[in-house]
Amino acid sequence: MNKSLFNSNSTIWSLDYPAVMGIINLSLNSFYNSSIVQLDQLLERVNNYIEEGVDLIDLGAMSSKPGSNIPDAQTELSLLLPAIKQIKAAFPNLILSIDTMRSEIAEQAILNGAHMINDISGGQFDPDMPKIINTYQVPYIMMHMRGIPKTMNQPEHLNYTNLSSEIMRFFVAQIKKFKDHGVYQIIVDPGFGFSKSLAQNFELLANLHLLSILDCPILVGISRKSMIYKQTNNDPEDALNGTTAAHMLALMEGAQILRVHDVKAAKQAVSIFNQYTKHKVINLS
């Protein structure tokens, strides 16, 4: 286990790795129905996550399932702000990440107490995102995706000459752009299920360790995704066992943050992984 120190708008906080990030989805349009949370259920879901040992929460109001439309900014904000305020009032010490591609929503979220921003576009959707992240000096999760959720699985976005190399080039370019704006607290997410085929997702998982060269924490979001339930001939509701297996592989490949629907199962996987690595013999000399 290791630890990172983060600064969020002059507040210092730490995160022990591997960490588990619990998903809270305010949008009614989700590939996994059990992840949808109404406002009157919000605090109960957050409290359940805390009791299960969650390290941080990722709150979003925009569906990113394949083929979904991007809601207008006002709709997204009207869902997010009341939820942020409820969570901050009830759980003031909880680390809160906001899943958004819009800089103006990121700014409002930060002003209302969010600690970090999770941008599935990796800074491609909104050119003002680097400026906002720099202004408030919060950690930024940069995900790889081609296109937008509505178009990301079109054939042209699934055409890679070399998957790992092209994803690496994307991160190198985007990290440079953000660092040029004074943003250094960057977490990378290779974007499982976003503009990748089933085979490409497993290629990405098998080569996840290559991203360590970027010297950024690696976040993995594979919970109950199609790469799990299609491979196991299931549906999202029955994909927990496959998800846990994939989480263990991701941890062994260098993942430091797991973004999950099932906190308890993920924490158990992390516990087993930590004990395994503690006793692993590096050499026999």
- pLDDT tens digit sequence for 172-220: 999 999 999 999 999 999 999 999 999 999 999 999 999 999 999 999 9
- pLDDT tens digit sequence for 116-154: 999 999 999 999 999 999 999 999 999 999 988 888 889
End-to-end CA, the chain: 24
Residue 272 Ramachandran class (φ > 0 left, ψ -120 to 50 alpha, else beta): alpha
Residue 136, judged by CB atoms within 10 A of its CB (0-12, 13-18, 19+), counts as middle
Going by C-beta distance under 8 Å and a sequence separation of 6 or more, which residues neighbour residue 69? 149, 150
For the chain, the average pLDDT equals 92
- Specify the pTM: 0.94
| Alpha-carbon gap, residue 232 to 234, rounded angstroms | 5
Residue 285 is predicted with a pLDDT of 61
| Alpha-carbon gap, residue 114 to 102, rounded angstroms | 14
Residue 68 is predicted with a pLDDT of 74
Please report which confidence band the pLDDT of residue 32 belongs to, taking 50, 70 and 90 as the band edges: low
Identity (one letter) of the amino acid at 244? T
Residue 284 is predicted with a pLDDT of 64
Contact (CB, 8 A) for 26 and 58: no
C-alpha count within 13 angstroms, C-beta hemisphere, residue 119: 31
Residue 18 is predicted with a pLDDT of 95
Structural domains of the chain in order of their starting residue, each with its CATH number? 2-279 (3.20.20.20)
Please check the confidence at residue 1 and state whether its pLDDT lies above 70.
no
Going by C-beta distance under 8 Å and a sequence separation of 6 or more, which residues neighbour residue 26? 36, 37, 39, 59, 60, 61, 79, 80, 83
Residue 239 is predicted with a pLDDT of 93
CA-to-CA separations, 106 to 1, 75, 143, in angstroms, rounded: 30, 14, 15
CA-to-CA separations, 156 to 12, 66, 159, in angstroms, rounded: 42, 15, 5
43-68 average pLDDT score: 91
